[in-house]
A and B are shown apart, each in its own frame.
Chain A
Amino acid sequence: QKEVEQNSGPLSVPEGAIASLNCTYSDRGSQSFFWYRQYSGKSPELIMSIYSNGDKEDGRFTAQLNKASQYVSLLIRDSQPSDSATYLCAFNAGGTSYGKLTFGQGTILTVHP
């Protein structure tokens, strides 16, 4: 089993719709979870971090964490063409790997006008 699995893409949504990105992880010791956005040819940029169960909202972005189900998601409301990118979920590994980020393979999102 892979450590991090993201919903397979690519994901295509129309402008103004809600884009839903999902991620499951296998390390129960994980405490910190992150969503990064990576435009083609660029490095990742942090969108959201979430540490507690429940929802965390920041503008058009909502991250949801369910540690019991080992599941984290990212909702993008009112999607814009500028949101088209690869979205990477990552978690901060526990135990001896504390501090390192483990990344999913990424989900390519395309928002079409």
Chain B
Amino acid sequence: GAVVSQHPSWVICKSGTSVKIECRSLDFQATTMFWYRQFPKQSLMLMATSNEGSKATYEQGVEKDKFLINHASLTLSTLTVTSAHPEDSSFYICSARPIQGVETQYFGPGTRLLVL
């Protein structure tokens, strides 16, 4: 149980294009999903907290107009990197927190983004 999927697992795009990443909880419902970014040899950096049916809460320094988050259902959150640039190249990982009383976050497999 507690499986989270992400799609795509790899994406290469040209500078200036937008990229959408999907995060799905496959066998549980999640009111809250989180989006992280990880650069090589660094720890996870929380970008934003996504709550179903409401606006995402962004961490300090994360541009909400650049990283659009939508949490349309209890099993799906999407992150769109708009007008991507090479410095946005990173490993993007989502996690989902089950709806009932469990504090644990379960992580998706991650999406590697390379912007040329």
Number of interface residues of B (CB under 8 A): 19
- In the bound complex, how far is the Cα of B50 from the Cα of A107, in angstroms? 28
Verify B104–A100 contact, CB threshold 8 A. no
Does residue A60 face the partner (Cβ distance < 8 Å to B)? no
Partner of A103, one of B44, B103, B106, B109: B44
Report chain A residues within 8 Å CB of B97.
Answer: 99
Q: Please give, as numbers and ranges, the residues of chain A lying within 8 Å of B67 by CB-CB distance.
A: none
Contact of B104 among A42, A46, A103, A105 (CB under 8 A): A46
Interchain CB contact (< 8 A) of B43 among A46, A49, A92, A103: A103
Number of inter-chain CB pairs below 8 Å: 45
Contacts of A92 on B, CB cut-off 8 Å?
A: 103
Q: Which of B82-116 contact A (CB under 8 A)?
A: 91, 93, 95, 97, 103-110
Smallest CB separation, B16 vs chain A (Å): 27
Check A20 for interface membership: any CB of B closer than 8 A.
Answer: no
**A43 to chain B: which residues have CB within 8 Å?**
91, 93, 107-110
Shortest beta-carbon distance from A17 to chain B in Å? 25
Interface size on A, residues (CB 8 A): 20
Chain A residue numbers with a CB within 8 Å of B44 are 44, 88, 103
Q: In the assembly, what is the distance between CA of A88 and CA of B38, in Å?
A: 13
Complex contact B93–A100 (CB within 8 A): no
A101 touches B46 (CB 8 A): yes
A101 to B49, CA, bound (A): 10
Please state if A106 and B43 are interface contacts (CB–CB under 8 Å). Answer: yes
In the bound assembly, the distance between CA atoms of A44 and B46 in angstroms comes to 13
Residue of B whose beta carbon sits closest to that of A91: B103
A43 to B6 Cα, complex, angstroms: 11
> Is A32 engaged at the interface, CB distance under 8 Å to the other chain?
yes
> Are B110's CB and A42's CB within 8 A?
yes
Residue in B closest to A88 when the chains form the complex, CB atoms:
B43
* A57 within 8 A of partner (CB): no
Contact of A46 among B34, B93, B106, B109 (CB under 8 A): B106
In the complex, are the beta carbons of B103 and A32 less than 8 A apart? yes
B: which residues have CB within 8 A of A? 32, 34, 42-44, 46, 49, 91, 93, 95, 97, 103-110
